[in-house]
Structure 1
Amino acid sequence: MGKSSKDKRDLYYRKAKEQGYRARSAFKLLQLDDDFHFLQQAVRVVDLCAAPGSWSQVLSRRLFPQSSDNSDRKIVAVDLQPMSPIDNVITLQADITHPKTLQTITELFEGKKADFICSDGAPDVTGLHDLDEYVQQQLILSALQLSTCLLRKGGNFVAKIFRGRDIDMLYSQLGYLFEKVICAKPRSSRGTSLESFIVCLGYNPPANWEPKLDVNSSVEDFFQGCDIGKLRLEDKCPNYHEEPRSIATFIACGGLSSFDSDATYHVDTSTPALDPVQSPTNPPYKKALELKRRGKMTRAI
């Protein structure tokens, strides 16, 4: 039997099981789309860092309603971890930073551009907020590199962020590529968490910049042509100027009638227990945990 934790008692966790979602994070994308409607006209969609697949389930249900013609619509979900199959979703076990992944998605879309790309990925947090925010921003930039190669002009991009004191620099960088950048906090995201979501609407890259994904190039080299990279030391003298900084509009998504993720609600005790929607995937550190339980992992002195 699993441990009793706040997640197990959270109402969104229970609602996810009742509605067949693999994780409570499905409601975050649902509430974001209810406010920004970025899936309304979407035809080709990519879900990055998709495991276990709750966002892909939302995409599948919204893009493939039973009452309409869905022949031209495609959803591609990418993650390093294996995923159980999802209706109407093509799953790829691949690295989002590798050019082969870009090539595979392009072939699946038959050379056409994507309308919407999202990423709910996050690193294993350390508790050191500055470090966690930095690593998360690097993950966003990695997802952004792939997105700039796949998105059509006017397309939309959504990604998870950790809000901190230096986050406005990321807003400023994204502002070079999108017409509108908004920081959104869904009601299903706990108020005690640093987590928010960056909603980038209207992809509009510089006319003379052609993104090219190269595994041997740095993030700064990739974005060199559109001026969102880091300012070099030699550029500071003699006419040093600060990088343009901006603060994105902050929006709380989900109406007041939505459930509060930090509140406690009474649950009918007669409600039957539900089995997990998807069995847990094998994490890359599973072997290390097994060795630790057996006492075979010792600290070097």
Structure 2
Amino acid sequence: MGKTNKDKRDLYYRRAKEEGWRARSAYKLLQIDQQFDILSGVTRAVDLCAAPGSWSQVLSSKLNSSTTSSAKIVAVDLQPMTPIEGVTTIQADITHPSTLQQILDCFENELADFVCSDGAPDVTGLHDLDEYVQHQLVWSALQLATCILRPGGTLIAKIFRGKDIDIIYAQFAKFFERVVCAKPRSSRGTSLEAFLVCLNYKPILHWTPKLINNQSTSEFFAGANLMGAATKTATTVGANHEERAIVEFIACGDVNDIDSDASYAIDGDFKRLDPVQKPTAPPYKTALEMKRRGELARR
């Protein structure tokens, strides 16, 4: 979060800076946990697509709140991330087999209780494209989760709700006893963003997930009979259709809390706060360096 962001009138944004969170997204995980109590008893947690680290901050705060706590938290992202106390940071690709082994090494080859992913692509404004890329991130998170999550564990993953999201619901429901679509109050109502809350992981019988480099998602899940699976409906006998499902939709957070879509006035004595964590590798950094060297020319 910067000092002159266009969201400076967003009270979640302002509250996050005041309370020391790296991003307003911290409240999304806090409100999901408030609703589902997903972090109770968790001793090994993995935060995928973690940068800048607000969800890792929440995990560290919740799981290491007592002096007797021995929770292990691993944060993974392609981008570098400034260290957080109580969190092991891995700069790596979540789809690469070596990343899986690094996580297991941190857990001394024990399986995780909790996996979360708040990752999202750079939005283009082309909704079908954005939804497709986001779904690929969700599937990548599930790939890794099936390899490191213990039976009975929990997965939280950001999704973009679109016309085919019910296919995702149906396929994820094969791996978990309960799948819920959660919308935290801190998530803007005008956004298609929501979160899959997948409870009580149940491994597929006679299928052993194995990450292989350069393997497609379809190839990975082929043995689980998910991707491209055809079903027959009573109304279209003989026709092939993707299996679909409807899941619970639950709004998380106090109804009397801040409205994330509202624009609030700034008081006269308002004081700008420095970012909790400055960007470690901003995308514009290379362009600025080239400009200083005179390597950028107007076209």
Note whether the superposition's TM-score is higher than 0.5.
Answer: yes
Q: What's 1:241 paired with?
A: 240
Structure 1 match to 2:37: 37
Residue type of the alignment partner of 1:181: V
Shift in alpha-carbon separation, 1:298–1:167, aligned structure 2, 3 A = farther
1:266 is displaced (CA, Å) by 4.3
CA displacement 1:257-287 (0-9 Å, x = unmatched): 2111111334543354321111112134532
Match of 1:65 in 2: 65
Which deviates the most, 139-148 or 258-267?
A: 258-267
Separation of aligned partners in 2, 1:97 and 1:164: 24
Q: Residues 188-220 of structure 1, C-alpha deviation per residue, up to 9 Å, x if partnerless?
A: 011111111111111112121110000132111
Q: Which residue of 2 aligns with 1:186?
A: 184
Matched, 1:105 2:103: yes
Deviation at 1:2, TM superposition (A): 5.3
Equivalence for 2:76: 78
How far, CA to CA, are the matches of 1:254 and 1:57 in structure 2? 19
Is 2:131 the partner of 1:95?
A: no
Farther-moved stretch of structure 1 (185-194 vs 275-284): 275-284
- Is the Cα–Cα contact under 8 Å of residues 122 and 160 in structure 1 kept in the other structure? yes
With over 3 angstroms needed to count, the CA separation of the structure-2 counterparts of 1:3 and 1:276, relative to structure 1, is closer
Q: 1:117 to 1:274 in 2, by over 3 A?
A: same
- Partner in structure 2 of residue 277 of structure 1: 276
Q: CA deviation at 1:255?
A: 1.3
Q: Deviations over 1:219-265 (max 9, x none)?
A: 11111121211248xxxxx9543232102211111111211111133
Query: 1:265 — aligned with what?
Result: 264
- Where 2:73 maps in the other structure, the secondary structure is strand
Are the equivalent residues in 1 in contact too, given 2:11–2:258 (CA < 8 A)? yes
| Structure 2, unpaired ranges of 5+ | 231-236
* Structure 1 counterpart of 2:233: none
Q: Matched residues in 2 for 1:50 and 1:265: separation?
A: 29
The equivalent of 1:286 in structure 2 is 285
**SS, match of residue 47 in structure 2:** strand
Cα distance in 2 for partners of 1:193, 1:295 equals 38
Q: Percent identity?
A: 61
The one-letter code of the counterpart of 2:275 is P
Distance 1:257 1:289, change over 3 A: same
SS in structure 1 of the partner of residue 8 of structure 2: helix
The secondary structure found in structure 2 opposite 1:8 is coil
The CA distance in 2 between the partners of 1:190 and 1:49, in whole Å, is 20
Paired residues for 1:199-238 under 5 Å: 199-231=197-229
| Number of residues of Structure 1 aligned to a counterpart in Structure 2 | 291
Query: CA 1:239/1:288 → structure 2, altered by over 3 Å: closer, same or farther?
Result: farther
Preserved contact between residue 176 and residue 226 of structure 1 (Cα < 8 Å): no
Q: 1:16 to 1:242 in 2, by over 3 A?
A: same
Kindly state the Cα deviation for residue 63 of structure 1 after the two structures are TM-superposed.
0.2
Between the aligned partners of 2:158 and 2:5, the Cα distance in structure 1 is 26
Q: Distance in 1 between matches of 2:180 and 2:42?
A: 19
Specify the alignment match of 1:141 in structure 2: 139
Q: CA deviation at 1:162?
A: 0.6
Tell me the TM-score normalized by structure 2. 0.91
Consecutive unaligned residues in structure 1, runs of 5 or more: 233-237
2:180 match: secondary structure: strand
CA contact (8 A) 1:291 1:297 kept: no
Q: What is the TM-score of this pair, normalised by structure 1?
A: 0.91
Distance 1:57 1:283 in 2: 20
Instruction: Tell me by how many angstroms 1:297 deviates.
Output: 6.0
Instruction: Please tell me the root mean square deviation across aligned C-alpha atoms, in Å.
Output: 2.1
The aligned residue for residue 234 of structure 2 is none
Structure 2 match to 1:164: 162
Letter in 2 for 1:56: S
Report the Cα distance in structure 1 between the residues aligned to 2:208 and 2:119, rounded to whole angstroms: 26
Distance in 2 (CA, whole Å) between partners of 1:258 and 1:199 is: 22
Tell me how far apart the structure 1 counterparts of residues 88 and 289 of structure 2 sit (CA, whole Å). Answer: 32
Letter in 1 for 2:296: K
Task: Describe the superposition over 1:167-201 as per-residue Cα deviations: whole angstroms up to 9, x where unpaired.
Answer: 11111110111111111110001111111111111
CA contact (8 A) 1:81 1:283 kept: no
Superimposed CA distance per residue, residues 111-132 of structure 1 (whole angstroms, 9 cap, x where no aligned partner): 1110000000001011000110
